Every structure is written in structure tokens, then in C-alpha cells.
Amino acid sequence: MRVRISQLKDRKQRREKFAMLTAYDATIGRLLERAGVDVLLVGDSVATAVLGYETTLPVTLEVMIHHTAAVMRGTERALVIADMPFLTYQVSPSEAVRNAGRLLKDGGAAAVKIEGGRSVTDVARRLVDVGIPVMGHLGVLPQSVNQQSGYRQRGGDAREADLIFTDALALQDAGVFALVLEAIPADLAAKLTAELAVPTIGIGAGPDCDGQVLVSSDLLGLHDRIPPFARRYANLSEVIVNAARAFVEDVREASSSRARTD
């Protein structure tokens, strides 16, 4: 049986922290679940982490459905949440319902995540009204990279901190079940975590959030560069390069039976 959305709130009340990681395919989803990860986010970061794009903006609904369905096939227990891609929810609440519905119906996700504050509360409310659980996302908003002029920390001055605080309360009021806080000061995240009834999940937002999330390719060390707040827990690029190099050498020298394919 999969982890349920209500269990995240129970954990907040019991002050039990939880871990969320991004997953984009069945194999990694299965391994992350085996490691005890409770919540898997099929992030639109698939664009930059896997598909070679510069930003998350080009990702389409079809791509997100494709990756979400793969993660669902590879897992049995994790709560799987799918990101709604740029422009699939901002145009109108009814379009958002249709698109979010496909992430649940065709992708199999249990919930969706949307970026933004008061500009998306009408969308969040409508989705929740029709039975689609919504996770919010404040702070750095990768889909607004052009508007925010990059990925610098948000909420560092009193005005921005106030805006984020008001947005968080508005999202909670609209019915979101949890809130990702990306790259905001630790003291602001701690204050939000204490104030909100719904769990906060931090990424570059200090240690006091109810949960923490990382992009799995950063955690696994698949890229040369990672955000300053991310932590590499493994260096899989080295493992992969060494394995492939060993294979290439075996083939070239025809010296190992392991390299034979017949």
C-alpha cells in the first residue's frame, strides 16, 4: 500500500521528518523506494536533470505523463507526485483541471505540484475541489526563471519574506497539502514551518522544514555542477565512466569474456 497524503500531515504533527527525492524512471524510482524514500516527485527538473535542456520551461504534459507512468510502474509503496509543467495550469483553472487530471489518470500520480503563490491559488482551489491533491512551491520558482532573473535565493529581505509568508498562507487556505520551499533563508523557512498546519519540504531552506527534498541526479552525483545548497551523496558519474571505460578497454583488447556478447 502506498504512503498516503494524510500521513505527511500526521508526521508533521509527530515531528517526524520525511524525505522526498525526484525520480524520472522506473529503475531509479524502485531503488529510491528500496532505500526508504517515502515521497517521489516526478519533477519537471527532468528537463535539466535528464533531457539536456537549460531550464524546465520546455517540458510538456506528455513528457511528464510518460515519466510519471514509468515511476509508477517501478514503485509500489512511495507516494508519487507529478509536477505540472509550465503553462499547463497558469492559463485557466479549467485547463489546469484537465491537465492535472491526465497526470492522475494516465500517469498514475496521486497528486500534482504547481509553482507560485497568490497567482495560482484559484487554480489550487479548483483542483482540490475536484479531488486532485495539490502541493505548492514557493521561493525560487524554476518556471519563472526569466521573471526572477535566475535562481538566486528569495525572501532575503523583509519585503520578499513578507510576500512569501502571505503566499504560503494563501496556498494553505486554498487547500494545498504540503509546500515546497526552495532556496529561502533558514529562519524564514523555520517560521513558516511553525506557522503552517501543512508540512513544509525544504530544498536549500535550512534544516527546520518538516521534510527535505533533493534532485536525485544531484544526490547521486550525475552532473558536474550542482546548486550550492545541494549535497552529493555519491559520485555515480565516476562509477559510470569507469565502468564504460573498462568495457571499452575490454572490447578493444578482446581480452575478457565479460565483454563478449555472444
Tell me which residues are annotated as active site: 182
Determine the Cα–Cα distance for residues 217 and 22; give it in Å rounded to an integer: 8
By the 10 Å C-beta count (0-12 exposed, 13-18 middle, 19+ buried), 35 is classed as exposed
Rounded least distance, CB 158 to ligand KIV, Å: 25
CB-wise, 104 or 180, nearer to ligand KIV? Answer: 180
Which residues share a beta bridge with 185?
none
User: What cell was used for 229?
Assistant: 545548497
* CB nearer to ligand KIV: pick between 226 and 259: 226
Number of residues in contact with ligand KIV under rule CB under 6 A: 12
Using CB under 6 A, which of 123, 180, 192, 222 touches ligand KIV?
180
Q: What is the nearest approach in angstroms of ligand KIV to the Cβ of residue 44?
A: 5
Is residue 44 a contact point for ligand KIV (CB under 6 A)?
A: yes
Which residues on adjacent β-strands are paired with residue 136?
179
String marking each residue 103-142 x if it binds ligand KIV according to CB under 6 A: ----------------------------------x-----
CB closer to ligand KIV out of 148 and 250: 148
Candidate list 213, 219, 220, 222; residue touching ligand KIV; CB under 6 A: 213
Instruction: State which H helix or E strand residue 138 sits in.
Output: strand 134-139
Give yes or no for a contact between 142 and 151, defined as CB atoms under 8 angstroms apart.
yes
Would you count residue 210 as binding ligand KIV (CB under 6 A)?
Answer: no
Considering only CA atoms, which of 102, 138, 106, 145 is closest in space to residue 121? 138
Contact 248, 232 (CB under 8 A): no
* Least distance in angstroms from the C-beta of 255 to ligand KIV: 42
Contact 97, 130 (CB under 8 A): yes
43, 107, 133, 199: which one binds ligand KIV (CB under 6 A): 43
Among 21, 45, 61, 200, binds ligand KIV (CB under 6 A): 45
